[in-house]
Amino acid sequence: MSTAKNAGFSTLAVHAGQAPDSATGAVMTPIYQTSTYAQEAPGRHKGFEYSRTGNPTRAALEANLAALEGARFGLCFSSGMGAISSVIMTLSAGDHVVSGNDVYGGTYRAFTKVFSRMGIDFTFVDATDLGAVERAMTPRTKLLWVETPSNPLLRITDIRKACVLAKKHGALAAVDNTFASPALQQPLALGADLVAHSTTKYLGGHSDVVGGFVATSDQALYERIKFVQNSVGAVPGPMDCFLVLRGTKTLPLRVRRHCENAMAVARHLSAHPQVARVYYPGLPGHPGHRIAKAQMKGFGGMISFELKGGLERAKRMISATNIFALAESLGGVESLIGHPATMTHAAIPRGERLKSGLADGLIRLSVGIEDAKDLIADLDQAVRKS
Ligand SMILES: *Cc1c(COP(=O)(O)O)cnc(C)c1O
């Protein structure tokens, strides 16, 4: 089925990029488990030459995800970090990047420990403070890197205003849209030049695949990133693309349920006598609530909170849940609980973590699609045990 230009998001999620297989009529895009393709004559082929450069299962996923982000172009990668690294590799020594300071721990590590060695400079700022973002811009700044909602403090950056600022200083604006997913937020429509994803999370949605994605409507930028990808090789396998493609079909349904459950859990935690703070953009007291409401269709499935009693109590609590699994990652149908300071964000030095507001005792939840009452009861019994 070909999807009309004005098709709704759920229709695109199921159909975009996926015509029935021309050889067999298979309704589901086959897993083209092949590295190479027979050519009719030297250089005459059906659009595929070698699977680092392109693969039909990957092409279907790229078209599907590009449609969901409202982008003209999409590129799939072996992981979110493969996607982010390939974007950074379009820059050169001497270039400067302004980045949010509570980005994904692996992003911070790649920026500070890998790309800074190659002469690319990074300045980390609280990206919700647009004055701070602007002060960090220099004539060498080529890229603004923003995560919103951010990880793990769920801070909200005004995407439209941040993109205007980047443009004013001649820099590209990139948004890591992993936490929101395109079901809740479409940064390109708000002025971003490119969107990055870890498809490992909500897009895949079932914690069974690692992958990455970049979307843009800027053809020259797309070609630069594609050139890096083909040169450096962070490409996904066809089986992994198939799994993400299966995941995106239910993205709108899953994300709606993640949002409903997270709101119920966040409300419960914020009224809990043993909870010191709750970070969830859906709560009216959250400093980014108003912006989130304006630029997102829902507030997502991620919550962070602090218990009264700090680090030691937090460690006891996260080890006492029965439904929430103690694990890294997020965005799957099952609920996960984690401790950023020792798990996802251990790569960020403690001083930097505290400076950005990430307390030692902070607990992060990826709220799944189970029954909200069971999730709340599980958290309550774990708090009682802690
Ligand atoms: C997980 C994650 C990444 C990295 O993605 P991988 O697929 O693990 O390489 C990047 N950004 C955010 C916000 C993430 O949650």
Q: Amino acid identity, residue 259? A: C
Alpha helices in 55-182 (DSSP H): 56-68, 80-88, 105-109, 130-136, 159-168
In this predicted structure, what is the pLDDT of residue 344? 82
- Average of per-residue pLDDT values in the chain: 96
Q: Is 267 a catalytic residue?
A: no
The Cα 280–Cα 302 span in angstroms is: 7
Q: How does pLDDT run across 189-211, given as a tens digit for each residue?
A: 999 999 999 999 999 999 999 99
Cβ–ligand 1 distance for 210 under 6 Å, the answer yes
Domain boundaries, the chain: 9-248, 251-385
Tokens of 41: 């004559």
**What's the CATH fold of domain 9-248?**
Aspartate Aminotransferase; domain 2 (3.40.640)
Q: How does pLDDT run across 19-70, given as a tens digit for each residue?
A: 999 889 999 999 999 999 999 999 899 999 999 999 999 999 999 999 999 9
End-to-end Cα spacing for the chain = 53
pLDDT of residue 239 exceeding 60, the answer is yes
In this predicted structure, what is the pLDDT of residue 343? 87
Cβ–ligand 1 distance for 344 under 6 Å, the answer no
Question: Which entry of 102, 126, 158, 176 is annotated as an active-site residue?
Answer: 176
Beta bridge partners of 325: 336
Q: Provide the whole-model pTM.
A: 0.96
pLDDT of residue 4 exceeding 70, the answer is no
Q: How confident is the model at residue 2 (pLDDT cuts 50, 70, 90)?
A: low
Cβ–ligand 1 distance for 204 under 6 Å, the answer no
**CATH class label, 251-385:** alpha beta
**Phi and psi at residue 241, to the nearest 5°:** -65, -40
Element (H, E) at 260: helix 251-270
Tokens of 195: 């969107």
In this predicted structure, what is the pLDDT of residue 6? 84
Q: Is 360 a catalytic residue?
A: no
pLDDT of residue 348 exceeding 90, the answer is no
Q: Hey, whose CA ends up nearest to atom 11 of ligand 1?
A: 104
Cβ–ligand 1 distance for 178 under 6 Å, the answer yes
Q: Hey, whose CA ends up nearest to atom 5 of ligand 1?
A: 80
The Cα 265–Cα 237 span in angstroms is: 37
Q: How does pLDDT run across 151-192, given as a tens digit for each residue?
A: 889 999 999 999 999 999 999 999 999 999 999 999 999 999
Q: How does pLDDT run across 93-103, given as a tens digit for each residue?
A: 999 999 999 89
